Structure 1
Amino acid sequence: MHSRNVGRIQIADNIIQTMKSAVYDIRETDPFSSKLQFTITNRDVSPYGNRIIMMWQQNRDSIIKLFPKSQEFQKIKRLICRVWKISIKLMRTIRYQLKVIKFLLT
Structure 2
Amino acid sequence: MPRHKDVVFVGSALKDLRSFPIEARRAAGFQLDLLQQGEQPFDCKPMKTIGRGVNEIRITDESGAFRVFYVVNRPEAVYVLHAFRKTTQKAETRDIELARARLQELG
Larger helix proportion, structure 1 or 2?
1
TM-score in terms of structure 2 length:
0.25
TM-score in terms of structure 1 length:
0.26
**Relative contact order, CA 8 A, sep 6+: which one is greater?**
2
Larger strand proportion, structure 1 or 2?
2
Structure 1 or 2, whichever has the larger Rg, is 1
